[in-house]
Amino acid sequence: MIIVGVDGSRAGLEAAGWAAGEAALRGTPLRLVHAMPSWACEEDASGRLAEVARWMREGGRTVLAAAENRVRGEQPGIAVETGLLPGDPRAALIEAARDAELVVVGDHGLGGVRGLLVGSVAYGVAAHAECDVALVREVPVAPRDEVVAGVDGSPTAGRVLDVAFREAELRKLTLRAVHAWSLPQAGGFLSPAGDGERDQVLMLKERLAGHRERHPGVVVVEEVVHGHPVAALRQAAAGAELLVVGSRGYGTLKGMVLGSVSQAMVHHAPCPLLVAKRDR
């Protein structure tokens, strides 16, 4: 099951469209959800608020119907259901995604505090959902035919590549595996040593080997960059169809917190972003 949050914004609708495409590719049902305050969901409320609650539920159903209309039009083959969820949208989406394989949100919503790169619901879901999260933002008009994966030396790299190879295969796209590295800075600029570079190239090859065997149809481009991973990934993903990164959660917090590169990508990825979480 793929879950997508809609809030009546254009970004939410774009997210629903993206999620429907993904559901069609994966052959998975899609659930459109809209969260609203719990009191507005109580059908048997009485008193002055009851009228407001009824009006809000109607608004929520309209939001869901608009999204449902769009996804049924674009992807008539997929199974679609809708749900009004009570509570804070972050908590509601994270809870709804508990047993899902993927939760999808737009980068902005109706709130739109000026200057924020990403909305609070989008950020909260990306950081705290236990399943994989897709953050949909300005899909490039003519995307480069590539899925880009950020590969580091950590244990999460295997999961990132699982997801990225699968996406490249489903979408019939090239997979660009990007590994950025740098020497520790010692009070100034250090130029890369030749051997360091060779080690990094070997590391990436080793990481990719098993995945390549399992997905012989996927064309892979290996890119080892000397520099900061955030800059390298932003550059590599500009105009790409999808960027996949890990969540690099810290052990003690059970993978619930994003690492700094993932965080930066949630804010700055130049294309739709998929954050691969830990093995479930």
Q: Which stretch binds ligand ATP (CB under 6 A): 4-12, 17-25, 42-50, 199-207?
A: 4-12
How near is the Cβ of 63 to ligand ATP at its closest, in Å? 8
237's contact among ligand ATP, Mg ion, none, with CB below 5 to 8 A by partner kind, is none
**Residues near 77 by beta carbon (within 8 Å), at least 6 away in sequence:** 24
Q: Which of 2, 3, 15, 273 binds ligand ATP (CB under 6 A)?
A: 15
For residue 76, state whether it binds Mg ion (rule: CB under 5 A): no
115: left (phi over 0), alpha (psi -120 to 50) or beta: left
- Contacting residue, 11, 53, 266, 269, with ligand ATP by CB under 6 A: 11
Q: Transcribe 134-150 into DSSP letters.
A: EEE----SS-EEEEEEE
Least separation in angstroms between CB 112 and Mg ion: 8
Neighbours of 144 (CB within 10 A): 17
Residue 37 as a binder of Mg ion (CB under 5 A): the answer is: no
Enumerate residues 24-83 that contact ligand ATP by CB under 6 A.
Answer: 33-35
**Residue 167: which of ligand ATP, Mg ion, none does it interact with, CB under 5 to 8 A by kind?**
none
The two tokens of residue 139 are: 């899909």
| By the rule CB under 5 A, 60 interacts with Mg ion | no
Binding mask 178-217 for ligand ATP (x = CB under 6 A): ----------------------------------------
* Diameter of the chain measured on Cα atoms: 75
> Which of 30, 75, 108, 276 contacts ligand ATP by CB under 6 A?
108
Site string for Mg ion, 94-133 (x = CB under 5 A): ---------------x-x----------------------
Between the two ends of the chain, the Cα-to-Cα distance in Å is 14
Asked if 218 is part of the footprint of ligand ATP (rule: CB under 6 A), the reply reads no
Instruction: Please identify the residue of the shown chain whose CB is closest to the bound ligand ATP.
Output: 119
> What token pair was written down for 140?
């490039």
Q: Which stretch binds ligand ATP (CB under 6 A): 117-125, 126-134, 154-162, 175-183?
A: 117-125
Q: Report d(CA 108, CA 89) in Å as an integer.
A: 13
CB atoms within 10 A of CB 191: 7
Q: Where are the alpha helices (DSSP H) in 37-101?
A: 38-41, 48-74, 89-96
Binding region for ligand ATP (CB under 6 A) out of 115-123, 158-166, 208-216, 267-275: 115-123
Interhelix angle 157-171/194-214, rounded to 10 degrees, is 60
Spatial contact of 189 and 237, defined as CB atoms under 8 Å apart:
no
Question: Considering only CA atoms, which of 6, 138, 126 is closest in space to residue 59?
Answer: 6
Query: Is 122 a residue that touches ligand ATP (CB under 6 A)?
Result: yes
What residues contact residue 189 under an 8 Å CB cut-off, 6+ apart?
none
Q: Which residues bind ligand ATP (CB under 6 A)?
A: 5-7, 9, 11-12, 15, 33-35, 89, 93, 105-106, 108-113, 119-122
Q: Which residues bind Mg ion (CB under 5 A)?
A: 109, 111
